[in-house]
Structures are given as structure tokens and as C-alpha cells.
Structure 1
Amino acid sequence: MERPQIISLLQYGHTAVSKLLLDYYAKIGLNEPQMMILLHIHRFIEDNHPFPTPAELSERMSMSESECTELLRSLIKNDYLEMQKNQDDDQVMYETYSLTPLFRRIVQEQFSEAGAETEKDSSNQEGELYEIFEQEFSRPLSPMECETINVWMDQDKYKPELIKTALHEAVLAGKLNLRYIDRILHEWHKNGVRTHQEAKTYGENFRKHQTSKTTMKDKTKPPQYPNINWLDES
């Protein structure tokens, strides 16, 4: 190929296609012919020709005019493509194609995937917590106990690591029941404790304080003398 011809091809221009279209078209229910005609419409729109006819589309595709017509109808009916009515400065009505529904479907699919992943992670975390609690309690959890743990995560928004730390504190205190753990979590929340490390530090300080109080109480006790009966001279 001659160099001028190569330069001419490079100057012909490019059509920018979002990677999202290529990544998601199959996931939102499009097949290859549908995707291709949408790409051609996108190209026409970029060239300031927003309403190509089936005949014009057919010239660029390996499909007949009637097949292109049927494909366009299907895309509009299934909310991948939209026909819009517009008015120019001279009050003349004209129609254009819009790919907004297509991109809306892709965004919805992205959010759906993200939501499913989040739900899966949440379910895994709950399952882990149930197992840890059952190990410490040495028995299966009751439905009410499972519901309580679920409330801690979904409604109270306690992080799983914080719940595990509260369970550890209950084990140290020898009080393996959810009511005691709930009091710990409530106390931490009231005092701004939000992370595992903050909870660990708070627990250590609390135990030191309790030990100090016990020591001071022992020091202030009166001395204990043996019970001697001074009248017994034997």
C-alpha cells in the first residue's frame, strides 16, 4: 500500500466506543447483530446524522433493509434504543435516535452486580460469625440468636470484627450470652468505639480500672482479727 493511502486511512478518523459496551452487551441481553447495528447508529450520530434509515444501515451491514427495519423495531420495543422528536429553529419537526436507554441498562447491570457481590459478602460474614459463636458457645445457635446477630450487622451497622471482639470480651468475663455481648456493643457505640483496635484498647483499660478498684477496696478493708474469747482462761 502506498504511503499517501496509509496517511489517508489514518486521517479518515476513529469512532470512540466505550469499553462498557463491549463488556456488557451480552449481559444485558444483546446479540452480535443487535450490537453491531447499535454501533453503526452510534457512528452515524457522531457524524451528525442522528437518524439513519434502514437502507443506510443496510449499506454498511451484511443485512437486508427489511432485516435492519425489524432489528430497529426490536431494539426500540425492548428499551435498548429510543426515537426522539425534536424541533429546529424554524419549528420544523425531526426525529433522532438516542442510545440513552442502552447506557441506562448497562449502568443498571453494573449496580446489580455490585449489589449481588455486596450481598454475597454480607452473607459470608454472617455465616462466619455464626460459626465462631457456635464454637465459643459449644452448641448450635437458636433462630433468635441468629436474628440478633443479623440485627447487629444490618440495623446497628456493627462491623463483624467489632462483634467478634465483643464475643472475646464476653469469653474473658465468663458470660457467654448475647444479652451481655449486646451491652458491650452498646457501651462501645456510646463511647465512640468503632474498630477492633479501639475496642481492644477500651477493654484493656476497663479491666485495668476494675482491677485497680478491687485492689483499693481490699486496702480499705479493716484488719481481720481471730475470734478470741478473752474470758476463756483455759
Structure 2
Amino acid sequence: MDRERVVEWLEGGSVSIPKVLLKHYADIGLNEIEFLTLLHIHESIGSGNPFPTPIEISNRMSIDGTACSEVLRSLMKRGFLAIEQQDVSMMICEKYSLRPLWQKLASLMFETVHEEEEQERERSETDLYTMFEKEFGRPLSPFECETLSMWIDQDDHEPVIIKAALREAVMSGKLNFRYIDRILFEWKKNGVKTIEQARNQSRKFRQHQQPKQGVSSNEGTRKTTIPFFNWLEQ
């Protein structure tokens, strides 16, 4: 075999295939024949032939031209492939478009991300209920469960912020839903949306309180009581 010819083959380039397509072509409803047909069209477009015939495509595959035509019709009917018109040298020509394929793939990715976000949200909410029951040392009442749901669904508080408000209530020694609700109300009013913002808000409020100091007659030493912000007084 002529080595130069082999070199020419190797220099012919490669076909770039999106990994997401390679991994998920079956998830969007393609079988192996359909997937390979679309890849050959993709390569043909990249090589300057935007409208290969069924015979040209089938010559690269194990199916004949008739079967290839059926595959192409099925792909167009099901919205994986389209034929568009283009103006070339004052002539109207047809070409294949893989845009429908990319749109289906993009939709799948958006759905996957949405499902993952929903699953993560459900896990966060489950952890939230567990955390409340652990801190309260008992199962939550129906009213308390409803209040938690309202904080999430109606007030749009993220579970991580609700957890931070719970910790604030624990630190303040005021473990009740009314106190936590007031904390969340104040945070929302002040635009608190992250843990860091919540910490800064609590720190800022506490800095406005004067430390309470007292003297112990028994020990003769000065003791400082660490103040906690009373959110219910706001």
C-alpha cells in the first residue's frame, strides 16, 4: 500500500461529535442506525456536501439506499432532521439541517437539569424537617409543618436560610416558630438571601446592643453576658 495515500487518509481530519449526543442519543429516541445516519450527514455537511443523497449515505453504512431513504423520512417526520433552502450562485438549493437534533438534545439537557434541581430541593426540604424535629426534640405538629411549607412556597425562603434562622433561634434561647418567623421576616425585609448575609445581619444587630455586665460578690470578678438580639422586639 502506498504510504502517502495512508498519510492522506489520516490527514483527512476527524469528525467532532458532542459528547452529550454520544451519551444520550438513545434518551432522545434514536437507535444506532438513525444515530449513525445523522453522524454521516453531520460529517458530509462539514466536508462541503450539505445535501448528500441516500445512496451516498448508504454507501458508508450496512444498509441500502431504500432503507436509508426510509430512515431519513422517519428522522424528518419525528423532528430530528430538516431540509432547508439556500441561495448558491443565484440558484436555490436544498440542504440538510441538524438544528432540530440539537434542539431536542438541548431540551433533554434542560429537563435533566430541572429534574436534578427538583430532587436537590426535595432533599433539602426533607433535611429541613429533620433538622427542626431534632432541635425541637419532637415531631412537628401539622400547624408547624404547614408553617414550614409556607416559608418555602409562599415566602420563597430557601431551606438554607430557614436553617440559619433556626440556628439563630437556638442561639438566642427562643426556640419557637413565632420567633423564627420574625427572623425570616426581618431578613427578607433587609434583602438577606445568603448565609453570609444572614450572619452579617445578625452581627450588625447585636453590635447595636450594649453588653450587660455584672459583678459576682462571691468571686469578686467581673462577668460579661453575651447579648442576643431579640427579633420579636423589632
- Correspondence for 2:175: 176
- Correspondence for 2:225: none
3-state DSSP of counterpart to 2:29: coil
Q: Distance in 2 between matches of 1:149 and 1:157?
A: 11
Q: Does 1:12 align with 2:17?
A: no
Distance of aligned partners of 1:39 and 1:207 in 2 relative to their CA distance in 1, 3 Å threshold:
closer
Report the TM-score, using the length of structure 1 for normalisation. 0.78
- Correspondence for 1:109: 108
User: Unpaired runs of 5+ in structure 2?
Assistant: 215-234
Q: Distance in 2 between matches of 1:186 and 1:206?
A: 14
- Correspondence for 1:148: 147
Give 1 or 2: higher strand fraction: 2
Aligned length: 214
Q: Shift of the alpha carbon at 1:128?
A: 0.4
Q: Distance in 1 between matches of 2:37 and 2:83?
A: 15
Q: Shift of the alpha carbon at 1:7?
A: 1.9
RMSD, aligned CA: 2.7
- Correspondence for 1:131: 130
Percent identity among equivalent residues?
Answer: 46
- Correspondence for 1:223: none
Q: Distance in 2 between matches of 1:157 and 1:97?
A: 46
- Correspondence for 1:56: 56
Could you tell me which amino acid in structure 1 is paired with residue 163 of structure 2? K
- CA distances 1:17-38 after superposition (whole Å, capped 9, x unpaired): 2223212212211111001110
Q: Distance in 1 between matches of 2:79 and 2:110?
A: 18
Give 1 or 2: higher helix fraction: 1
Report the TM-score, using the length of structure 2 for normalisation. 0.78
Distance of aligned partners of 1:180 and 1:214 in 2 relative to their CA distance in 1, 3 Å threshold:
farther
3-state DSSP of counterpart to 2:70: helix
User: Unpaired runs of 5+ in structure 1?
Assistant: 216-234
- Correspondence for 1:229: none
- Correspondence for 2:92: 93
